[in-house]
Every structure is written in structure tokens, then in C-alpha cells.
Amino acid sequence: MKVLISGGGTAGHINPALAIAQKLQNEYNAEILFIGTEKGLENELVPKAGFKIEYIEVSGLIRKLTLKNVTVVKKYLAAISKSKKIIKDFAPDVCIGTGGYVCAPVMSAAHSLKIPTLIHEQNVIPGVTVKLAARFCDVLAISFSDTLKHMKPDVRKKCVLTGNPIREKMLSVSKEDARISLGLDERPLVVIFGGSLGAAIISNTTAELINSFDLSKIQLIFGTGKRYYASVLDKISSKPLGYSIKVVPYINNMEEVLPAADLCISRAGALTVSELTALGVPSVLIPSPNVAHNHQTFNARALESEGASKMLPESELTKETLYETIFKILDDKNNLSKMSENSKRIGISDGTQKICEQILSLIKK
């Protein structure tokens, strides 16, 4: 079985692609080839994961009248042509897209060559590229049922609810074992992070929280993001840091930390909220306002409407509101338990398997 995968730009598009690729390779002995751009993060992450990658040049349309879009369209047409050559040379049984600008020309090329195609959408609100490429695909795998509301009727027929791929290591450890491994005591564990690079407002506000309030009733693991680590340490240097408050630039052992958590405070990226719900972790979600179509707010609202999370907009985020929100949730044990149950109820833990099943069904047709 040969599988061509395209998705790139950000880790949010690439990590699901890698999870799918690894499962197809490990369990179905698939031969995998990626198509990406040299400027995207896939240029680093895909080879690091041990997969081959070919490159095309493509960029997104500028959303205003400008002659630069003529160049964008020319690149797009050239990218379709090069994608066709790669597809003909590799001869895949199926093509998969996980979003990003690179996905559209590849899916278009595969469709024109009558190769079965599947696109995976990670967020509640589908991105522009996925909306564009959806007409070329045979199956649109979605991660949230609310996504159906944002798709045209002809595309809804192609939609299958699969959820997001979840790291298998994260699902294989119990909460008790994770807490023992981390050396935690009986106090609640609060986990705070703003993504791999961090988020300035979350890092600064959490530093103020540590400096200003007595946090002895909880244990805290705080991922600052690499770019904010030094400045956060400077701000909290006068605060004694024991095992109950751990500050790191990046949480490398998230597969242990998240299962051990009683409450998580984070952005509302699609993979994060999917992992939270798969594990049944209550959360306080602070959506980034600087993302396309404000999709993190829709992700957060989807969880809040189910009673699994509390959304805290950036505009309302202060050290006081963060402290009040954390302890209002933790001090109400019944509500905390209900939030956990609601989170687990809406979670999908076998997203990777469901996506692979759809891929296999396309090949058999």
C-alpha cells in the first residue's frame, strides 16, 4: 500500500499527518511519501520522523485586491502540475490532506488523476484550504460534530466524524500511574501552557499569579514557551520554587503530565482540546484571537457548551480572574467531577484508527 500525505505550515497540520503516517506504516506496512513546502514546519518535522518528503512552492491568497495574487495563482497552477508529476511517479493508492496551503493543489492533482482522496479537518471551523479542497475529496474526516454546521450540503455527505489523532502514549497511562511517575502528592495538579512557543499574555499572567497569590493548595506545572522562559524566571525569582511549582520552557513529557492533571489552562488549539477530551481533563481555555476565522474561540465554545470547560477570553485575563477561575473550579468537587465526565463523554480517543479505517475503505473501493 502506497500513501501520499500532504499538510503543512504549522504543527497543527503536520502532527495529525505524522500520527496517521506512523500508524499506517507500523500496522499496515504502508509506504509513505509527503508533499510539503520548504518554508513550512514540515521541512523539519517530517524528515525528523523518518519519512520522505517532496516539495512544491505554494502560498495563500492575500485577502485584498493586489497584483501579488497573480503570482499566487501562477504558483498554485505550477504546484498542481508538479504534484501531478510526483503522484504519477509515486503511484499512490490514496492521497491524504491535513490542511495548510500545500494541501489544495495536491488534492486537486490527485482528484484529476482519479486517486482516492481523504482530507482531515482538525478544528470546528474548517480552514479556507480545506473548504477549497473539500470538493476534490472523497471523504472529509472531521474532528467535531459542530463542523457540519459550517459545511455546504454537498460536502456534508462526504463528512465522517473521526476526531483528531491522539498520541497513543498519552492514552496508555492511567492518572494514578502518571501522578506516581511525576512524584505528585494528593493536592490537585494544575497544568498551564500556551503552546510550543508559548503565549505572552498567558506566560506573563501566570508569572504574576505565582508572585501574587498563595498557591500552596495546588501543584503547578507551567510551560512558559521557549521564548518566554528566561523572562518568567526573572519575574518569579523571588518566589521559592519547590516541587509543587515546576516551571519549564516546554513540557516534553506531556504524555504523562496531561493524564495526571486535575485542571488544564491552555490555548484552544484543536489537538489540545482533542487530547483534553480524550482524557477527560477539565479545562480553562484561553483562545488565541490571532488565528484564522477565530477558530480557537469556536473550539473553546464547543467544550464550554458541553460543560467540559470554562472559556476565559484574553480580554478578561488577569492574575485575579485566573486565580478566581482556577479555585472556583477546584473548590467545587462535584462540578469538577461533572466537568471531567462531560469532557470524557465528548472525547474521541481512537481518532487515528477511525481515519485509517476510512483510508482503507477508499483503497478497497
Residue 95 phi, psi dihedral angles, 5° rounding: -120, 135
pLDDT in tens, 171-191: 999 999 999 999 999 999 999
Q: What is the pLDDT of residue 242?
A: 58
pLDDT in tens, 228-249: 999 999 888 766 565 589 999 9
Beta strands in the chain (DSSP E): 2-6, 31-36, 52-55, 94-97, 117-121, 139-142, 159-161, 189-193, 219-223, 245-248, 263-266, 283-285, 309-311
Residue 71 has pLDDT above 90, yes or no: no
Residue 327 has pLDDT above 90, yes or no: yes
Check: CB of residue 139 under 8 Å from CB of residue 120.
no
Q: What is the pLDDT of residue 11?
A: 77
Domains and CATH numbers, the chain: 2-165+350-364 (3.40.50.2000), 169-346 (3.40.50.2000)
Lowest mean pLDDT among 34-38, 64-68, 222-226, 256-260: 64-68
Q: What is the pLDDT of residue 168?
A: 81
pLDDT class for 198, splitting at 50, 70, 90? confident
Q: What is the pLDDT of residue 202?
A: 97
Q: What is the pLDDT of residue 40?
A: 85
Cα–Cα distance, 249 to 198 (Å, whole number):
8
pLDDT in tens, 17-27: 999 999 999 99
What contacts 151, CB < 8 A, 6 or more positions away? Answer: 126, 131, 134, 140, 159
**159 grid coordinates:** 463528512
Lowest mean pLDDT among 69-83, 215-229, 239-253: 239-253
Q: Which of 11-15, 236-240, 302-306 has the highest mean pLDDT?
A: 302-306
Cα–Cα distance, 25 to 101 (Å, whole number):
25
Q: What is the pLDDT of residue 67?
A: 56
Cα–Cα distance, 144 to 124 (Å, whole number):
6
Residue 203 has pLDDT above 70, yes or no: yes
Taking residues 139-149, what's their average pLDDT? 91
**What pairing do the DSSP bridges indicate for beta strands 2-6 and 94-97?**
parallel
Residue 304 has pLDDT above 90, yes or no: yes
| Higher pLDDT among residues 285 and 244, named by residue | 285
Lowest mean pLDDT among 128-132, 149-153, 267-271, 347-351: 128-132
